[in-house]
Structures are given as structure tokens and as C-alpha cells.
Structure 1
């Protein structure tokens, strides 16, 4: 798309944080692949702006100065290049917390201060537009304490007098695929907001809506995100399916599978640990069972 646009607008540039272009000399947009591009104001007519607005999203540099971590994540997610700084988190888990604000005039520094009060460590914030962006959680351990996302939305709504929606994306560890995961999560967030008006939606909550709204190709991507590294562990998935079909009754499932109850419980706990989805709870069980059904027919 960028090459086609450049053929019409020769002055088009791609945004690179380290180059510090003259922001005010360009009109900025994001493409369907979340690439930030700028077109010189002098090359644009009102008609051009109307046409571009039909397939590009306007981008506003409405953000506080970025530190090195935020610059690194911006490079990775918008350009696909992995800075050396992010190599330090290789092997650690990370996930994106997508946010959507009902107003576009939020002061970024105040927003960052509000978010920081909920985390014991620094969390990078990357803005996608004037009212959308992500919080990057990286390397968090179970004993780091749970983040109350409901309290985050309550605080933001009371302090900034606007509606806030959060999508808690799934956890990943493959940094090389971070850009793909980021783009896919942004698509999912757009879909979810059409169906679920809650202020906080987790990936587990979202999966049923995503299955109902996506094509078979997209369903494959959702299934992969649900099962993570267990996707090829057929025996483990078969055990989980039997467990769910026995209404999560471990004793009944163990008898059906001719195995010791402790062995079945070990497999269930292993699945929960690997995917982060608690199949002993209703929403987790529903999400995984739907994914199992889709996985069988794809």
C-alpha cells in the first residue's frame, strides 16, 4: 500500500522515531498494517483528505515524550525491527493491554501517571492514535500481584470524565512475532467493542464473540492464540476435552480415560499453566471447548 500511495504522493514518508521529522509539515495516518505514514500538507487537497480518510486512520502525535523502552516497542510494533534493548526480555512473557478512550484530548503525561500508579514497575505505553494505544506488560510473574483493570477504568473515568475500554490480550513469549500479535489484537479489539460494551474485556471473555464473527482462516489464528504451545499435544487436548465433557468432574473423567485421578489433575494443571486459561472456571472452560470444536473441523 505504501508504494502505491507514494506513486500518488511523492513526498510520503514512513515515521521513524529516531529521525525526528518535522511533525507539523505532514498529515499523518496509520495503514491497515499499523504503519505510520506522513504526507506533506502541501501535497494534499480537501478531496485527497476525504479519499484518504476512507481507508487510512488519521494519526495524531498526541503523546508524552517516549523513553528508550517505548521507542523500542514502537520500532518493533510499527516497523517490525527488533531493537537490541528488547533482546533483554527474550524468553519472558509479554502481553498488550489495548485501551480506547471516548475522548481524544487526554493529556498523555497525566494518563501515564494514572496508569503508573497501578504497577510496581515501569510499563511502556505506545499510542496508536489520539485516543487509542497499548500498555505493554512484560516479564510479569504470578507473585507480582494481580492488576485490577476494573479499578484502572474507574479511576480514568472519574479523573478524565470519559468512557474507557480495555482489552486484556493473551500472553506471548515469541518476541519475533510481536508485531503480528499486536496487529491481530488490535483487530480483535475493534470486533469486540461492537459486541461487548463492558469496560474491561479479557481475551477469554472475547473468544466466543471472535469465533462468531470471524472466517475459518481467522478462527485458526484464534485457536492458535488459545492453545499456544499445546496445540500439537493431541493427548493433552484430548484429556482436556474429556474433562470438560464430564462437566469438569475429575473423578468421572479419570474413569472414562482409564487413568489415575492425580494423573488427570496433573494434565489439567499443565494445560492451565501453559495457556494461562483456567478450564476449571466457566468462562475458561467455554473458551477452550469452543476452540476444541473449531480445531476439530478446520
Structure 2
């Protein structure tokens, strides 16, 4: 097979071990325990996909941090000192790429992602799979909408799925490390609770985070009068949860659930009548949403 590939790609090279030259994709021939490196420029996306199916893709680019990124890495994950910065405030944009293949061109992805920002940012990779982007210009920060519009192109170009967690700006002080650690936990919750979401924020994650931090033995007691009603009617649970997620927008909810608006209103009124909880108020909606998460958890067991 190696000989055949050399005929198809005369510029390819062979070796007993793959190297870290990002210009090549390295494939392993299990029969000879040797490798062939094919120039990226000679491969189409379709060819890369086909080769990934036929061969173990062995090439992984070396993970390189700039000196400043290394300082942040040591501070955030080890016992390093907080790096000096002229900026007053920063925020962390966490990223994770759960389905990365060995042929993933991390350096190219990093450069493409950097180009999305109006100002220079600091990339701090922890591995080829995850890390943080540090942004220090609040007035020119990337918006959720801008990042969302770019994700489709990034995923298409690099054959990946990527998740971002957008943090909020905070003064640079030692407390910022605790913020980073908290946001890492929020990211982990979001990946479990909302695996389909590409961009998460604290506003989106806090309901799930709040529910998970309730003592497990207290949850059945707290939602006792509500969860049986929801368990008995799964469609009602989905309706109420979607309605709350849509900020009580009945028209949008009815459209998403392929339901007549009057039928939706009937279900909402029915829930309020049975439970005495008005989900059209903030407090009623927040409590009921936690109850829906509790029911989802019970059904997932």
C-alpha cells in the first residue's frame, strides 16, 4: 500500500517515525510498521477523509506556546505568578474540540481563529483538545453573534466540532484564577447538559449548575409536588421547558413545537392550575425550569 501511495503522491516521503513538520500528514503502514508523509498541499479534503478511514493518522503537531502564553499556562494550571499586563480587565474564552483526529492542523486552526478578533489575543493551549483565549479589549471584544457566525466555517474547514464558553471581563488579580476554574466547571456542565450548543455563557449554564449543586437527597423533596405531574406527562414537560427557554414567547414556542398557539396556552394554564406556580413570573419560571431538569435526570437514569 505504501508503494501505491508513493506512486500517487511522488512528493511523499517515508520514515520509520513521523515528525512534527506541519506540512505533512503522516500515515502508518501497520504491515511494515513504517510511515509515509504526504504534503498537505497535495491533498484535497475528500482525500484526507478517505486516508483517515484507511490508515491510522499518526501526525500530531507539536504543541507550542508563546512565552506569554506559557506564563498564563503556569499561572492558571500550576503555581506560577500572575503575568504582567497593561490591560485592566480580561476575559477567558474557553474552547474544547472533543472529536479531534490525529491529522488535525492545530496551528492553522489557531491562526484562523485569531483572525476573528479585532485585536490581538493570547492563545493558551492546554492540549490539542482544549485551552483558553485571553481577550483584553472590552470595547472591541468579539460578540456571541460574531463568534457564532464563524463557527460553521471553522467546523467545515477543519472537520471538527468546537465548543466555546464566553466568560466575562474581570480585573487582573489573583481572583481571576478562581474565575477561570469556575468557568472550567461551567464549561464541563454545559458540555454534558447542552452538547448541541456551540457557544455557552454563564447565563445559559447557571440553571443546570444550580440544579447540580443542590444536595442530591434534597432534590426529590424540593420538587415533590411538581415532578410527578411532569413525569406523568412528558409532552407537558417539554412544552413548559421550551416555553421558559424561549423567555415566555408563546408564538416562538408554538412554532418550535409544531403546536397551535391556543393548545400551547391551554397546556400552560393547565400546569399553573395544577401546581399553583405561575411560570410567567421570573421566580416561578426559574423554579419550574429546575424541576424540569430534575425530571430529565430521572428519565435519563
Q: So what's the TM-score if we normalise by structure 2?
A: 0.46
Q: So what's the TM-score if we normalise by structure 1?
A: 0.47
Radius of gyration: which is bigger? 2
